[in-house]
Structure 1
Amino acid sequence: MSERILYTSVRDPRAKPLFDGLEQEYGERYRDVIARIGGTPRDELERYPAEAFAPPHGAFLLLLRDEDVVGGGAFMRHRDADTAEFKRIWTRHDLRRQGLAQRVLGELEEQAARQGYRRVYLTTGFRQPEAVGLYLKQGYTALFDLQADPESVVHLAFEKYLDPIAPAWPAAPAEFPRTHGP
């Protein structure tokens, strides 16, 4: 079994499992909210143009295991040149609790640092306690009261300051030739 990180575009057909998985998860967890405010989970996934997640200001990656998409994530510039906003962090439902999200998050952090970002900002939904746990475990600071009812906060924001990394790869790759073992 081999795993590798593929830097690509949100338009890449190989990204379909990520977007389908996120759409299903958002639909299940937030069905009542979506019914109340209108729209669809796919609307949320298409809120940003593909270019937002492309170099030089963004990145989109897939985690492949034996060429199957098992995870992924992206980032884009957030408000200032020093801050990346992480989005679309996902792992395949049947492969959770294997460290895949941690791996995706770590790779996104490294790439954001290579692209010159010093800070990460991200939000997660109020019905995603697994994500909250992951971000806290990975050294993110909650920008909300952790004791508050998550449903009253709605968008749970986090931040983390990155260690600068000297660029080891070109800043705007189509794909980094990296293969990681298990």
Structure 2
Amino acid sequence: MTYEIIDTTLLDPVAQPLLDALNIEYTTRYSEFRPAGSATVSEELARYPAELFVPPEGAFIVILRDGETVGGGAFKRYDATTAELKRIWTHASQRRQGLARRVVQELETRAMRQGYRRVYLTTGFRQPEAAGLYTHAGYEALFDRSIAPEIHFRLPFGKDLLEPGRTDSLRDLIHPGPLGRR
């Protein structure tokens, strides 16, 4: 299969399938924790203006297969040296084939090109596949694993892009307690 990676914006129509699918995914996985359902998820997805995800401080990519959006993700500035990954998604039919890992790699490459030396992200406690992806991609869990994931609600991870495996450079990204809902 041939995939095409395009740099675009959240406002591009090619991004809409990604955003729609994330809305469904988050609504389904967290329905008992978000009483307002998809309205709350839509607000979360729209929380950050699209301009945060464009160079020079951000990026947004979509992966197409035969003209269909099958994956993508973004990053925005977290601090002067750290990019924050957001909206990593792979179409259900394309999962477990390395596509999400490719999205992460592409975003890491762009982040380094734009001058970032670290990456930070959070994923939800009901997304063990995402937590596994980040762990296998060399990300360090920045939360106390002895506490049940649902207490944390959002699970933070970080990675030093210049020296993967180095963890002392991530200390300031660690939050003192569970992140909870936001």
Global fold match (TM > 0.5): yes
- Report if aligned partners of 2:23, 2:38 keep a CA contact under 8 Å in 1: no
Separation in 1, partners of 2:152, 2:83:
22
Partner in structure 2 of residue 86 of structure 1: 85
Distance apart, 1:9 and its partner CA? 0.6
The Cα offsets for residues 111-169 of structure 1, whole Å up to 9 and x where unpaired, read as 000000000000000100000000000000000122321101111000001129xxxxx
The Cα offsets for residues 43-100 of structure 1, whole Å up to 9 and x where unpaired, read as 111000000101110000001112211100000000x210000000000012110111
For structure 2, list consecutive stretches of 5 or more residues without a partner in the other structure: 164-182
Please give the secondary structure, in 1, of the residue aligned with 2:35: helix
For structure 1, list consecutive stretches of 5 or more residues without a partner in the other structure: 165-182
Please give the secondary structure, in 2, of the residue aligned with 1:156: strand
- Report if aligned partners of 2:24, 2:38 keep a CA contact under 8 Å in 1: no
User: What letter corresponds to residue 34 of structure 2 in structure 1?
Assistant: I
- Report if aligned partners of 2:6, 2:61 keep a CA contact under 8 Å in 1: yes
Partner in structure 1 of residue 131 of structure 2: 132
Q: Which runs of 4+ in 1 moved over 6 A?
A: none
Matches within 5 A, 1:89-104: 89-104=88-103
Partner in structure 2 of residue 44 of structure 1: 44
Please give the secondary structure, in 2, of the residue aligned with 1:26: helix
User: What letter corresponds to residue 49 of structure 1 in structure 2?
Assistant: P
> What is the aligned residue count?
163
Separation in 1, partners of 2:36, 2:11:
30
Change (3 A) 1:128 1:110: same
Distance apart, 1:38 and its partner CA? 9.3
Partner in structure 2 of residue 66 of structure 1: 66
User: What letter corresponds to residue 73 of structure 1 in structure 2?
Assistant: G
Q: CA RMSD in A?
A: 1.6
- Report which structure shows greater RCO (CA 8 Å, sep ≥6): 1
Separation in 2, partners of 1:17, 1:72:
10
Separation in 1, partners of 2:112, 2:44:
27
User: TM-score, normalising length from structure 2?
Assistant: 0.86
Partner in structure 2 of residue 33 of structure 1: 33
Matches within 5 A, 1:159-174: 159-163=158-162
User: TM-score, normalising length from structure 1?
Assistant: 0.86
Separation in 1, partners of 2:37, 2:11:
27
Percentage identity across paired residues of the two chains? 57
1:21 aligns with 2:21: yes
Please give the secondary structure, in 2, of the residue aligned with 1:136: helix
